[in-house]
Structure 1
Amino acid sequence: MLKEEKIEQAVYQLLEAIGENPNREGLLDTPSRVAKMYQEVFSGLGENPKEEFTAVFSESYEEVVLVKDIPFYSMCEHHLVPFYGVAHIAYLPDGGRVTGLSKLARAVEVASKRPQLQERLTGQVAAALDEALSPKGVFVMVEAEHMCMTMRGIKKPGSKTVTSVAKGVYQTDTALRQEVLAMIQR
């Protein structure tokens, strides 16, 4: 649980440190607003994406399941500025074990709501699905724009970072991997 009062104090001090007057009209409520925002933005701290896979069903379906273009927002742990984009999650059920489609999006939500690296986010979602369902294969691809590259440093707006994690048959069978990549790009 985040400590709202400590966040407010830190934001107040930050405003002072950058040469602003935290007591001026436009900034009076900023420490409180930032603390409330952080409650939401970092709501995934202490949660495990695997716990989102509560609905597991037995279904006579053993073909690819893909949910693509799942939007997410996260915070770069190096600069505490946002990165945002979409996640694509595919899995190949084994023994007919499938999960609710919204559970895939919920796993992305939990993993993204913490100070994060895109590479870790991709791996956490893939590992959670793999552990929860033990499918024949898992493929997760994340595409994101990082504000730490857009508004500071190199300043290259529009540049996208793409990460992927393949497990099981998607790691070893290039034809299956190409099939899922083609589905994502469609």
Structure 2
Amino acid sequence: MLRIATFALRGFLLLFGAVVLGVSVTVAKHQAIGMPPSETSFGSFCGAFGILISLIGFGALFFDKIPALVLMAADGLATAFYLAGAIALTLALKSVPSCTSKDDYNVAQRYLNKLLNGGCDYVQNKQPYCPNGYDDNELSSLCQRVQADYVFQYLAFIFGVAIIGMSFFLNRSGKGRSAAYV
């Protein structure tokens, strides 16, 4: 029973890592001027690292060579990365009150947000020119992708805490490898 629960948690973490990686890369590809924002790049790293740790965790379910403490530390690191990435994206998108509202203020905030506009050049009179920022439907869609990215990172954080807690209590009670390797 515990092995099935562990397998399910690892599966969700693998799925969340893949979604975070995919959405972050999609958002980063939208960048036209300069490098993608660091929040987007860190999201890509979080997704890739989460996938790697999930695959190692799956391997640990079948091979007893990986110490439980090492796996718990790796899960803890991945969980901390997910939380940091989610908070970074949340704060970077904080200036955008709504992704779908069509009023002038929301449209302007989406245009000026560094995660959404694809990079800007500052021309005469220091006015920003953002070549990818003129299609508001595209900006709304991209804004919703960024929101999905940080939601999946928060979910991965919650499931990461669950897998760490499960590992801790199973190994503390002495049922670690005999009940289910987490």
Instruction: Tell me which interval the TM-score lies in, with the shorter structure as reference length.
Output: under 0.3
TM-score (norm 1): 0.27
**More helix per residue: 1 or 2?**
2
TM-score by length of structure 2 reads 0.27
Of structures 1 and 2, the one scoring higher in RCO (CA 8 A, sep 6+) is: 2
